[in-house]
């Protein structure tokens, strides 16, 4: 476990921002990286083991909770967990009904999955930054351990690219290839003259393709940036615990205040990602 007592501030921050990385070493063999430099040198084929691990664990938690409630659901005297799950489902359903104007039974389950899964990932930001890395270090399992998957752009881009693929799929399915290409080439500039209309095609395509490609980028970076910044603040606050009794008290109070505020941030970011997903899928179903 890397402690702020044994490392410099820079080393401590770097350690907590380094993923447990598996990939190819310079000699060709695959294995875990034992330093930030080794992790960076692994390149494209590197895998962030901790991000995948916690993503799968939290996905399993989500499925276990909702499946357990579904198996024991009752209309007579529902318990608190069932009421909570039903409240989440009603909340998602209201947002889908308000934002999605077409008919597609796939959208609401997708929105529910994204909201709950991303919320659980974001919630890991409230776990003390040293706790889980310390447990994995003292047990000899892993030297590095980032426990907030949404602070990894690979995870957030994975979500956004999946939504982007769905958007393209439904755009082609609903409008056809011709309709989809027409949206990219025949607007916003239009003309009745065939020659001018043809001249407008590359201009329209450039303007529209920028807007289309910017969607997954902004979708992922918004989530990543907010959670990465929040995690960084927690790490910086934790440095205060090695600066004497006064700073320990001050750091503890500051950490509590930031954690309370961060509850709003992690919920809001999961909600925004879900809302944008619904909006993008609604756009894919609309004819211009």
C-alpha distances (whole Å) from 212 to each of 7, 180, 207, 215 are: 45, 12, 9, 6
Establish whether 83 is a catalytic residue.
Answer: no
Token pair for 203: 């201009």
C-alpha distances (whole Å) from 127 to each of 58, 121, 161, 253 are: 14, 11, 28, 16
106/264 Cα distance (integer angstroms): 28
Which one of the listed residues 218, 220, 238, 242 is annotated catalytic? 218
Establish whether 40 is a catalytic residue.
Answer: no
273/170 Cα distance (integer angstroms): 19
Which one of the listed residues 154, 226, 238, 242 is annotated catalytic? 226
Which one of the listed residues 3, 154, 222, 242 is annotated catalytic? 222
Residues 6+ apart with CB under 8 A from 169: 284
Establish whether 14 is a catalytic residue.
Answer: no
Classify strands 21-24 and 47-48 as parallel, antiparallel or unpaired. antiparallel
Count Cβ atoms within 10 A of the Cβ of residue 226 and give its class: 0-12 exposed, 13-18 middle, 19 or more buried.
buried
Q: Catalytic residues, which ones? A: 218, 222, 226
């Amino acid at each position: 476990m890397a402690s702020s007592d044994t490392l410099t501030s820079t080393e401590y921050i770097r350690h907590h921002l380094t993923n447990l990385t598996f990939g190819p070493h310079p000699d060709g063999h695959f294995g875990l990286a034992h330093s930030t430099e080794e992790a960076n040198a692994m390149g494209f084929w590197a895998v962030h083991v901790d991000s995948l691990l916690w993503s799968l664990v939290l996905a399993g938690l989500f499925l276990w909770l909702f499946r357990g409630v579904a198996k024991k659901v009752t209309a007579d005297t529902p318990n608190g967990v069932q009421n909570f799950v039903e409240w989440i489902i009603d909340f998602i359903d209201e947002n889908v009904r308000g934002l999605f104007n077409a008919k597609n039974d796939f959208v609401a389950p997708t929105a529910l999955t994204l909201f709950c899964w991303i919320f659980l990932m974001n919630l890991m930001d409230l776990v003390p930054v040293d706790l889980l890395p310390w447990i994995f270090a003292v047990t000899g399992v892993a030297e590095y351990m980032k426990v907030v998957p949404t602070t990894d752009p690979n995870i957030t881009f994975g979500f956004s690219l999946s939504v982007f693929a769905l958007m393209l799929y439904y755009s082609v399915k609903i409008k056809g290839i011709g309709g989809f290409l027409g949206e990219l080439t025949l607007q916003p500039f239009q003309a009745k003259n065939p020659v001018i209309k043809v001249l407008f095609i590359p201009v329209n395509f450039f303007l529209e393709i920028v807007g289309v490609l910017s969607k997954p980028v902004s979708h992922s970076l918004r989530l990543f940036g907010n959670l990465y910044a929040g995690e960084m603040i927690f790490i910086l606050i934790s440095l205060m615990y090695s600066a004497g009794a006064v700073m320990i008290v001050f750091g503890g109070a500051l950490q509590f205040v930031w954690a309370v505020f961060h509850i709003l941030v992690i919920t809001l970011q999961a909600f925004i990602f879900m809302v944008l997903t619904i909006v993008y899928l609604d756009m894919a179903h609309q004819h211009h």
